[in-house]
Amino acid sequence: MSISTSVLSELLQALPNLRPQIYFKASLTALSHAMEDQVLAATLEQPLVIASFQRERFYRQEAHRYQRLAQRSNQIYVLSAPETDFTNSSEYYEKIAFEPDDSLSQEWHLVVIAQNYATCLVCRESMGSLAKNEQLREISPSLDMDTARRFEGIWTAERGVSLKAAELLLDRILVYRPELADKIHLCRQRFGIGERLSETIAEQNEYACDIDTDPFVQRLVTYLQASQYKLHKAYRSITAQARKERLVNTISTAIRRSLDPHEILQVATQELGQNLGACRCLIYRAQGTDAKAVIDHEFLKPGVTSLLRQTWLLENNLLFREVVLQSAGVCITDTQTDARITSSKELWELVKKYGIRSWLMEPVFYQGRLLGIVELHYCNETLHDWQAGDFDLVEAIATQVGAALIQAEAYANLEVLNKQLEALDRTRSNLIAITGHELRTPLSTIQVCLESLASEPDMPPELRQVMLDTALTDSERMRKLIQDFLTLSNLESGRVEWHPESLSLQECVELSLSRIRTRFASEKLPKITTQLAKNLPLVKADGDWLVEVLAKLVDNACKFTSSDGEITIKAERNRKKMVEVTVADTGRGIEPHLLEIVFDRFYQEEGALRRTTGGTGLGLAISRQIVNGWGGEIWAKSNGKNQGSQFHFTIPIVEARQEQKLSRPRKGSKRQGTQEKTL
Ligand code: ADP
């Protein structure tokens, strides 16, 4: 059994002057509670209370209130559509379970009739309100859209209207629970329900004023305040969400636009620091095992001390250790009282030096690997007031930064791979060239010699010796050629490991000269003099390679200068904070148009077939690769044929601070080893 007629419609039909209006669910909850509180506040009365809930779940939220109300009156009727265990019963008050398809399930009613006051609320939920509400909840589960449900109907303190509403509801209760007929009859008699309607309406004002409205008003004000607070909270959460999305968007855009990690981290530092009103925001690269980090990216408020390019302590930094250990961010609201800071000498000093009052440290992870750290410092006198959502925001940015760093790293790796591929390709072309032109010549000579020796057993011994010597010389030339070629290939493809150290140039020159003397032991060499400037600073280079370059240049000078000529090795500090070394000779000189070409691979003035000097044509190309490797330059000068040549190259010097630290007596042993090194 269910009734399809709406109570509201019946009421409006009976009292056509009533004007229904729209109420939000929150307003109806407030009004209902206020009406119930009014009942609870009165001590002597036994009012009639009829409450109709759309569903059992709504009733259950209020069940405890109705138990308290039952202590005030024996005329309480609660109606609801059952969902689990709501049934017709008369325990504390009368419960009336109506059919779920009864029109009551669309409506919300509360009627209170006392001797000296009466109020009623008779409303019907707007069509589609529930469905719309469900849709909104799907879109934004975090928002409480239940409060947006809308109802249409009457709320009034007019006694006549309340009596009519009570009459309609009591009629409906009787349909579901006819056994309550006597109790309801008594109730009707007591409150004059269903009688003298027009007179009652006329008397309403007299009754309506005769009550204490304080509990009612108090309750409404409390509701109003609570709603305002909820609104305020919702507004703040929406603002925080919008701020987070804006910021994440800005940083994602920067990431999409650029593959330069420097640019990305700069944008992230700036935006994050600005958005969270930090005094200082830092982002730096760090791994879990690092002892220190250099601050490369910083946002600063005016007047705050900068940390840019400073070395930031990580090893004894308890905060950093905690972040690494827990794989999560750490936030300190007050550094002055936090035990982690006050118990650590190092941290306490940092806090004092840089005026950090509140401190947040967030790790930048990518697939469990620590890539860096985001830090926020607040340096004010007053403690920083962290807002809800701040931590989420920093975490979201850290995630973006992690992705950006990995992306940039992958790109850089790709570039290195590309370079290696290009170098490999060059090596391949060179190999073809070398086998085609450079190796075939000595190989043919060796072949001719060996064939002659094999086919002519009667060859005179002197000629036989000449044949053997020629074959041996050419095979030695091939060995050297291949060795130089491999060295050059390694240098060009970046496969060489550099070990820069602080070196005394004097020692390197001596080592290269001793190598030359060994090589030209049987020949008369031109006079070699060295002119190294006094107080020459230490140079920063890989010692083995530096000796190699010096030896190659002096070797060339010896080869292309007659024994009565002169070779000078000079070195002085130039204006670019480099030491410039010059190897000058008085030999055959170089034509001006060939000054750059001599550095090309396989260039030799005589051409491959007319070589007398035993070179490979790769020495200067190798020297250029080595010098460029330590950031120097190499070039040749000559006034032309038979005017002598000068080869210049530069080496970076060791900074004054480093010089003191690194300078050490260097006597022989390591350098002696250099000579034997195969390059
Ligand atoms: P090589 O092994 O043939 O010496 P390099 O690359 O060292 O190969 O030199 C290339 C060419 O540059 C030489 O063959 C020579 O023609 C020219 N060259 C190098 N050094 C000198 C120098 N000091 N005087 C004149 N010509 C030089």
The beta strands (E) that lie in 54-136 are given as 75-80, 94-97, 107-113, 118-125
Question: How deeply is 271 buried, as exposed, middle or buried, from its count of CB atoms within 10 A (0-12, 13-18, 19+)?
Answer: buried
The beta strands (E) that lie in 129-279 are given as 150-156
**CA-CA distance, 13 to 10, in Å (whole number)?**
5
Question: How deeply is 531 buried, as exposed, middle or buried, from its count of CB atoms within 10 A (0-12, 13-18, 19+)?
Answer: exposed
* Residues in the chain, pLDDT under 50: 200-209, 608-611, 660-679
How confident is the model at residue 450, as a pLDDT? 92
Residue 281 in contact with ligand 1 by CB distance below 6 A = no
For ligand 1, the distance from its centroid to the CA atom of residue 556, given in whole angstroms, is 6
Residue 585 in contact with ligand 1 by CB distance below 6 A = yes
How confident is the model at residue 219, as a pLDDT? 82
Residue 634 in contact with ligand 1 by CB distance below 6 A = no
**CA-CA distance, 49 to 459, in Å (whole number)?**
138
How confident is the model at residue 128, as a pLDDT? 66
Q: Of 678, 659, 209, give the one whose Cα is nearest residue 484.
A: 678
Residue 600 in contact with ligand 1 by CB distance below 6 A = no
**CA-CA distance, 658 to 503, in Å (whole number)?**
12
Q: Tens digits of per-residue pLDDT, 577-601?
A: 899 999 999 999 999 999 998 998 8
The amino acid at residue 520 is F
Residue 644 in contact with ligand 1 by CB distance below 6 A = no
CA distances from 194 to 16, 236, 595 (A): 17, 51, 122
Domains of the chain: 7-212 (no CATH), 242-411 (3.30.450.40), 497-678 (3.30.565.10)
The count of other CB atoms within 10 Å of the CB of residue 658 is 13
Residue 588 in contact with ligand 1 by CB distance below 6 A = yes
- Whether 488 contacts 622, CB under 8 Å: yes
Question: Which pair of structure tokens corresponds to residue 241?
Answer: 């969400």
**What are the φ and ψ backbone dihedral angles of 24, each rounded to 5 degrees?**
-80, 155
Over its C-alpha atoms, the chain yields an Rg (Å, rounded) of: 48
CA distances from 309 to 282, 304, 305, 445 (A): 11, 15, 12, 62
For residue 302, give the DSSP letter.
T
How confident is the model at residue 33, as a pLDDT? 92
**CA-CA distance, 273 to 267, in Å (whole number)?**
10
Q: Of 353, 355, 361, give the one whose Cα is nearest residue 380.
A: 355
**CA-CA distance, 389 to 300, in Å (whole number)?**
22
Q: Tell me whether strands 645-652 and 634-638 are parallel, antiparallel or unpaired.
A: antiparallel
Question: How deeply is 282 buried, as exposed, middle or buried, from its count of CB atoms within 10 A (0-12, 13-18, 19+)?
Answer: buried
How confident is the model at residue 662, as a pLDDT? 45
For ligand 1, the distance from its centroid to the CA atom of residue 559, given in whole angstroms, is 8
How confident is the model at residue 137, as a pLDDT? 59
The beta strands (E) that lie in 257-382 are given as 280-285, 292-294, 297-300, 311-313, 330-332, 358-366, 369-378
The amino acid at residue 159 is R
How confident is the model at residue 393, as a pLDDT? 85
CA distances from 107 to 123, 154, 174, 303 (A): 6, 12, 18, 64
Query: Which residues pair with residue 540 across a beta bridge?
Result: 502
Residue 611 in contact with ligand 1 by CB distance below 6 A = no
Give the end-to-end CA distance of the chain in Å, rounded to a whole number. Answer: 103
**What are the φ and ψ backbone dihedral angles of 233, each rounded to 5 degrees?**
-65, -45
Ligand 1, atom nearest to 587 Cα: 24
Q: Of 524, 599, 600, give the one whose Cα is nearest residue 565.
A: 524
Pocket test for ligand 1, best of 554, 604, 613 (most atoms within 8 A of CB): 604
Q: Tens digits of per-residue pLDDT, 422-480?
A: 867 776 776 677 667 778 888 888 999 999 999 988 889 899 999 999 999 889 888 88
- Whether 86 contacts 108, CB under 8 Å: no
Residue 620 in contact with ligand 1 by CB distance below 6 A = yes
Q: Report which secondary-structure segment, H or E, holds 24.
A: strand 21-24
Query: Which residues pair with residue 22 across a beta bridge?
Result: 152
- Whether 153 contacts 124, CB under 8 Å: yes
227 CB-near residues (< 8 Å, 6+ apart)? 26, 30, 147
